[in-house]
Amino acid sequence: MDSNKLQNILDALLLSADKPLSVENLFKFFDEEDLVNRQDIRNALENLQKCNADRGFELKQVASGYRYQTREEYKHWVSKHWDERPPRYSRALLETLALIVYRQPTTRAEIEDIRGVAVSSNIIKTLLEREWVRVVGHKEMPGRPAMYGSTRQFLDYFNLDSLDQVPSLSEIQDIEKLYPELDLKTPSDNKQENKEMAKLEALIFDVDGTLADTERDGHRVAFNQAFAEATLDWDWTVELYGELLSVTGGKERIRLYIEKFLQDFDAGGDVQEFAANLHKRKTHFYLELLKTGAIPLRPGVEALINEAREAGLRLAIATTTTPANVTYLLTATLGEESNDWFEVIAAGDIVPAKKPAPDIYTWAMEQMELSPDACMAFEDSLNGVKSSLAANLKTLITVNGYTKDDDFSGAAIVLDQMGTAEEGFKVLEGDAGEHSYVNMAMIDYLHNK
């Protein structure tokens, strides 16, 4: 076949295709009498690439084959064809995608271990729906979790021919410059987008003392069990533990106790390492307590979570406790599936500064791509409310035995509990309107005040 005719045929095939076509795909369009072989097609494609070198479009080879596409430098004008803005992706989604690409095959749990925070089910769902990742198998371990890997569609979207062309990890840090088409959201973008619309979109919960009264009969008991196992004659009484709650974080409380009450204590080395190891054993005992169901949710918590889900609100957690503590509490009280109800679980050392710093709330909102105006926080302590208010969040307080005398100035309302229809709350500070227990109608009332 004449080379010019072959090039014209390939032009027509590629322009009419709705996906990239490989040399093998293109070869199947020709009959034996056409006298066209695969090398003829490769040569013709190479000529077409040269012919279009100075045009506003290009013939691009990607993982799935060849396709015509407009050049990147003309995106500003081409994008005006469409009124709708392209989808915008969060950094959390891109971090998850990058880990799958670089560590494939990998499981969700392995990604969570690296990122230090639970991976939202919505992120995995989006990546699967975009066909950027796929399930490539199941790991041979209890539960046989799915293992994820990247797809040809992922390579096609990013104009890559193979995984060898994926940028290095150091380059990934400048993802916005490498792939501007992702249009990553930033906190300033979110503030601007939400400036005119203060619709409530998410509830962000603290855990210890807020979802469940875990401190006195949970964490305190587990600490004492860890002390006994380590043959330490320490006994954290109810009153003493209340004093130690002045700082957030279990490791921090151990160090505070040593500094305040045991100045001559010999940790046998680095005090921080000693506290970290002791805290690991404390976490073990605490998780065992949770498994027994000995620590229930506070009154009204489950009902509010269920109502919020039915109303389509997004849920998140912002806490200084460990991710494992959160997972076990949710599983023991609401069932294993409840871990997927929370889009973001910001827990433990995911940020360097714990409450009362606002970092944990700020980080959670960044992952959800929301501004403070679109969220409501739930806290129980002075350090907690300082953190949420510093993050510019309206905050509902439910006190407990340790925090009932704290100063909650600035909170939207302070209650003794969330309450139920049968047993309402007592308002300690603020205005609940006509409401007697916390439900979505009351949350909307507080949010719109």
Domains and their CATH numbers in the chain = 3-81 (1.10.10.10), 91-170 (1.10.10.10), 202-212+296-448 (3.40.50.1000), 214-289 (1.10.150.240)
pTM (2 d.p.): 0.54
Segments of the chain with pLDDT less than 70: 82-89, 167-198
pLDDT value at position 342?
Answer: 94
Tokens representing 303?
């009902």
> How do beta strands 65-70 and 106-107 pair?
unpaired
Q: How far apart are CA 213 and CA 402, in angstroms?
A: 10
Amino acid at residue number 21: L
Sign of the alpha-carbon torsion through 337, 339, 342, 344: negative
The active-site residue, picked from 83, 164, 189, 208, is 208
Cα distance between residue 340 and residue 329, in whole Å: 13
Looking at 269-324, which runs of residues are DSSP E strands?
Answer: 314-318
- Output the pLDDT for position 187: 45
Per-residue model confidence (pLDDT) at position 188? 46
Question: Which among 312, 70, 332 is positioned nearest to 199, based on CA atoms?
Answer: 312
**What pLDDT digit, counting tens, does each position of 312-322 carry?**
999 999 998 88
Active site residue 206: yes
**Per-residue buried b or exposed e for 178-189, using 16+ beta carbons within 10 Å of the residue's own CB:** ebeebebbeeee
Rounded to whole angstroms, how far apart are CA atoms 434 and 425?
12
Whether the Cβ atoms of residue 166 and residue 69 lie closer than 8 Å to each other: no
Q: Hey, CA dihedral for 179, 346, 304, 385, is it positive or negative?
A: negative
Which one of 156, 206, 213, 406 is the catalytic residue? 206
Q: Is 217 a catalytic residue?
A: no
- What does 382-424 look like in DSSP terms, one character per residue? HHHHHHHHHTT-EEEEE--TTTTTS--TT-SEEES----SSS-
Residue-wise pLDDT for 140-160, tens only, equals 887 788 899 999 888 888 888
Between CA 347 and CA 354, with CA 348 as vertex, the angle to 5 degrees is 100
Task: Determine contact, residues 151/131, Cβ cutoff 8 Å.
Answer: yes
Q: How far is CA 190 from the centre of its chain?
A: 16
The candidate with the shortest Cα–Cα distance to 110, out of 79, 84, 149, 72, is 149
441/412 Cα distance (integer angstroms) = 15
